[in-house]
Each structure stands twice: as structure tokens, then as C-alpha cells.
Amino acid sequence: MNVAIIGSGGREHALALKIKQSPTLENLYIIPGNPGTSLCGDNVELDITNYTSIYKFCKEKNIFFVVIGPEAPLVDGLADYLRNKNINVFGPSAKAARIESQKSFAKKMMIDNNVPTADYKEYTSDQYEKAKNYLVQSKYPLVMKADGLAAGKGVLICDNKLDGIKNLDDLFLKNKFGEAGNKIIIEEFLIGEEVSIFAITDGENFVCLPSAQDHKKIGENDTGLNTGGMGAYSPAPIITDTILREIESTIIKPIIYAMRESGNNFIGCLYAGLILTNNAIKVIEFNCRFGDPETQVVLQLLDGDFLRLLYSASIGKIEKDSVKYNGGCSLCVVASSKGYPENYEKGFEINGLNSITDPNVIIYHAGTKSVGNKIVSNGGRVLGITAYSNKINFKLAKEQVYKNLEKINFDGMYFRRDIAQKILKK
């Protein structure tokens, strides 16, 4: 089978590396890919917003199956476009992708189907006074969220009334997130440990991959601004088999069923961002795609034929036994550009990539680019240094990651030194 992957981040590098291992793969193309994916297949310089050119390329190369990585093309309808042209796609329709792109849609889906989530209110920008009154009489902290996609920045924690009103003004009066902030959710602040669960589904049946924990904040000890994710590990020790069964029966199954019943059949990776509070497991958010950097760790823990899993899901006949957990653990630390998640410079030469020889260590490329025979930084999150251990030994995986990170450098390279610290302390 000839396969194309859409995207160019660390997640797509991980998807490419795993799909490459499949015995049924003939040719792999990554559109547009990065220097890391070029070692797994052919990178193709195409604009991913130009659907006609993607389709033409698929026809030319006899590509039968497309895996879409990022949320933007899914939300925009690339999966619908290609399916209408009889290409099999792993990734939801634009309608189903609203589970990520419209928080109010996701909330309603949860409430209507008794899926546990934070209590909330919803306001549109013409209800400014009403929203303000609510903020004045509420208890804090509270969480305010732009309804639409806001490049991972649309969640604002409000510590007190003043904070709440300032954030409301930013969203409704100053249009901080443009149209994405024309509607907002104000929800209860939940306390607990966060976990990411990926359910691969054909719209009806599903299989959950090993759990993972992300590190969203830029600073050590979870301080500072939110990022796309600065590191991850898998499996999350807090997710026992019993808890996973509960997540499947109270969250994943009812949502997949409700999406199907409401005409929003979801085919792809349903990413549940969960929080384990003192008395319940609640959903913080759903995403319509694999997480980044969680994918980099989760896929290392799968034996079997991952391409077969995704392909069978895409045609509505998921073969759940295509993969199984291999009993190991994995840990990833993201090396980012100085200044990320705010302003940063790009174009710095990355040194030391060839000095990594440990077979259990993989350097996933995210924001990188080839310039002549050099590789330079080309984004906020630049690399994901990942180590695998065939037993649950996070201490070993962590040592391997940090030891190898020392061999790599570029101007302004930043990384957190405390990834997985919390579980190692326990």
C-alpha cells in the first residue's frame, strides 16, 4: 500500500517511523514532512491547504490511504475532500472535528450523554454584561476558554474577579483571539493529575493506546506559559487497568456512540484530555487527532502493525488486535527555541545529531529544516529526544534522554530538566 501522511511536526515523524515498520507498506510520502521524516519516506513539498494539489499527487503516486496529523486540515475539511474522491483517510470529517474546534459543541456532547466534565456556562460576545455579572458573583479560580481554535492559547485561568473581567474584556472587547473568542466557556477549575488517552476508532468500535502524561507548561515545576507540550512519558502509572476500563466505559464509548448517533461519525484518533480529581475522572478537552509530544512516546510502546490498525479503522472495520502494548516505557523531552511559546528566532544550526548511537534513543524532528548539508532550527519546538526501555524503568529512560541531550546543541536551545520528576519522586 502507498501511504501519505499530512504534517511536519514531531508527531508526524513518530507516525512515519511507526508506519514504515508495517509489512504492507510499499511507499511512504510525507506532505510536507521535515528532515526527520525524510529518513522514513519521501518528503513532498506541497501546500497542505491546496487540496487539489494533494489529490493530484495521490492520484499520480497511486496513494490509497492518507493519515492526517494536525487539527487544522481536519477542522478545515481535508478528510471530507479526500474521502469524496474515494481515498481512504484516517482522521475525522470537519463536522466530527468540532469536538476539538468548538468547545461548546464538545461540552454539549458531554452533558447530553452524561460524560463527566467541569460544570460550565456559555456566553456569546453580545452577552458581555451577562457574562460580567456571572464573573462578579462567582467563586474563584475559574477557567475561561475561547470556543474556537486559538493555537493552544485559548485557555485562561482566572484567579480572581479582576482577572476574570480582564480576560473577558480581552476576549469580547479587544478580540484577543479573533472569531475564536466570539463565544466563551467559563468553567469550574479542576484539581488533579492530567492524562492523555488516545482512542483509535472506526466510528463504532475502538481501542485505547497506552496512556501518557504531557508537560504543558514552559517552566520547570509546571510554571509559566502553556505550550504545545514540553515533554511526555508513557504509560502513565496513575492509569491502572481498572481506571482505564472506567475511562473507556464512561467517557470514550458514550462519546463515540453519541457522535455517530448525532450524524458526526468520528473516524480517527479521539484524544481525551482528562483530569483525575479526588472523586472523579473528568474530561478537560477532546482533540480530534494524536497529541504532540505524546505520540512520540506512545507509539514506541506498540508491537504489531500500526498501519493496519489505522487503515482498518479508516474503512470502518477496525482490527483492534493489530497492535499490542509491549510492556515497556518511554520518555520524551522537547528541545525548544529560546523565547518559545512567545517570540523566538529560527535558523540556528543543530549540532550533534549524528553522535546519537544508542538504539533505544530516537531524536524526533519537529521544527527543523535542511539547509545544504546542515540541519537548522525552524520552529518553537525543535526536537523531541526520546528513550525507550523494554521494562517500566522511567529512571533509566530519563537518564538516557538527558545523557543524549547533552550531545545536542543549537543557539538558544531550551528544555525542561524535570520531565517525569513527579513520578520518580513517588
CB 359 to ligand GLY: min, Å: 26
202 burial class (0-12, 13-18, 19+ CB within 10 angstroms)?
Answer: buried
Distances (CA, A) of 227 to 116, 224, 265, 293, 415: 25, 9, 30, 11, 12
Stretch in the footprint of ligand AMP (CB under 6 A) among 124-132, 182-190, 339-347, 404-412? 182-190
Counting contacts by CB under 6 A, is residue 70 touching ligand GLY?
no
- 3-class SS string, 72-127: HHHHHCHHHHHHHCCCEEECCCCCCCHHHHCHHHHHHHHHHCCCCECCEEEEEHHH
Counting contacts by CB under 6 A, is residue 226 touching ligand AMP?
yes
Q: Distance between CA atoms of 92 and 98, rounded to whole angstroms?
A: 9
- Choice between 194 and 204, CB closer to ligand AMP: 194
Which one of 1, 44, 46, 155 is in contact with ligand AMP (CB under 6 A)? Answer: 155
Q: Distance between CA atoms of 292 and 228, rounded to whole angstroms?
A: 7
The count of residues interacting with ligand AMP (CB under 6 A) is: 13
Stretch in the footprint of ligand GLY (CB under 6 A) among 124-132, 287-295, 303-311, 362-370? 287-295
Stretch in the footprint of ligand GLY (CB under 6 A) among 81-89, 251-259, 260-268, 286-294? 286-294
Residue 426 CB-half CA count within 13 A: 7
- Going by C-alpha positions, the residue among 179, 117, 187, 119 that lies closest to residue 149 is 179
Q: Distance between CA atoms of 133 and 416, rounded to whole angstroms?
A: 40
Residues 6+ apart with CB under 8 A from 3: 19, 25, 27, 28, 29, 63, 64, 65, 66, 67, 307
CB 214 to ligand GLY: min, Å: 4
Q: Distance between CA atoms of 30 and 16, rounded to whole angstroms?
A: 8
Q: Give me the 111-140 binding string for ligand AMP, x by CB under 6 A, dash otherwise.
A: -------x----------------------
Stretch in the footprint of ligand AMP (CB under 6 A) among 13-21, 173-181, 189-197, 235-243? 189-197
- Choice between 55 and 290, CB closer to ligand AMP: 290
On whether the CB atoms of residues 369 and 19 are closer than 8 A, the answer is: no
- Choice between 4 and 142, CB closer to ligand AMP: 142
Q: Give me the 42-81 binding string for ligand AMP, x by CB under 6 A, dash otherwise.
A: ----------------------------------------
- Choice between 187 and 292, CB closer to ligand GLY: 292
CB 387 to ligand AMP: min, Å: 24
Q: Which of residues 150-209 bind ligand GLY (CB under 6 A)?
A: none
Counting contacts by CB under 6 A, is residue 273 touching ligand AMP?
yes
CB 196 to ligand GLY: min, Å: 7
Which one of 294, 313, 348, 404 is in contact with ligand GLY (CB under 6 A)? Answer: 294
What crossing angle do the helices spanning 10-20 and 306-314 adopt, rounded to 10°? 100
SS3 content of the chain, % helix, strand, coil (to 5): 35, 30, 40
What is the grid cell recorded at 401? 534522554
Counting contacts by CB under 6 A, is residue 194 touching ligand AMP?
yes
Q: Can you give the binding site for ligand GLY, defined by CB under 6 A? A: 214, 228-229, 287, 291-292, 294
Q: Can you give the binding site for ligand AMP, defined by CB under 6 A? A: 118, 143, 155, 187-190, 194, 216, 226, 273, 284-285
